Structure 1
């Protein structure tokens, strides 16, 4: 199995992760904080954006790869991949230190959860 579709999304998300990692590093450089975030809320937000990404995207990619291996149609794999990409971008845009709930944050959270759920349901359905 070549995992051609999942590989494309894994590459896109690797670039996304590099951007988030470099944003955290750049903010650390500006604040001279090598650990935690001190009192710098901008650094705290970038750390959280990065953290939320690494908490969710790896499992979504694993599910996509398993769905691809189980024969999920390419169209649906792309729907999952694009939905996850949009959700993760929305989350980055919507995370705010002053507003706990924003429309973009809700789109990001809900979109990510729907992708995870869709992958899990397909895998369970295809097992029987």
Structure 2
């Protein structure tokens, strides 16, 4: 219980992102059921978009949440954790929506920037803390 209470903000985002992954995974499965495509994408553009949106989420969210947990355990202020988690959430939703609807556009780029910002900020904070640059 003590570890969970010391990861209060990160725990909220872990639960939220776990719930978000369910419909993304199901969207891929439903399209596979509709098309009968069991492996890869067989050239189906809708399936490919859903697979890449789900894959990109899966590639970026876990490491960012681990970095967030490390920052929280290192004493990062709550505003930094909430801002970083919020940026990640907005970034992933914007990226997913853009990729699914049009496949390209500014929303995808902004979504990646909002994803990469906390992926960079959280580990920098940890190293800053470890170097003794924080009280």
**Fold shared by both chains (TM-score > 0.5):** yes
1:47-67 Cα deviation digits (max 9, x unpaired) = 000100110000000001001
> Runs of 5+ in structure 1 lacking a partner?
none
Q: TM-score, normalised by structure 2?
A: 0.89
Q: Label 1:97 to 1:9 Cα distance change in 2 as closer, same or farther (>3 A).
A: closer
Distance 2:100 2:47 in 1: 12
1:121: Cα distance to partner?
1.1
1:20: Cα distance to partner?
0.5
Q: CA RMSD in A?
A: 1.4
Distance 1:98 1:5 in 2: 33
Q: Label 1:54 to 1:122 Cα distance change in 2 as closer, same or farther (>3 A).
A: same
Match of 1:48 in 2: 52
Determine if the alignment matches structure 1 residue 118 to structure 2 residue 121: yes
Determine if the alignment matches structure 1 residue 127 to structure 2 residue 135: no
1:97: Cα distance to partner?
8.4
Bigger Rg, structure 1 or 2: 2
Number of positions where the alignment pairs a residue of Structure 1 with one of Structure 2: 127
1:124: Cα distance to partner?
1.1
Q: Answer yes or no: is the 8 Å Cα contact 1:41–1:97 preserved in 2.
A: no
Q: Matches of residues 27-38 of structure 1 in structure 2 within 5 Å?
A: 27-38=31-42
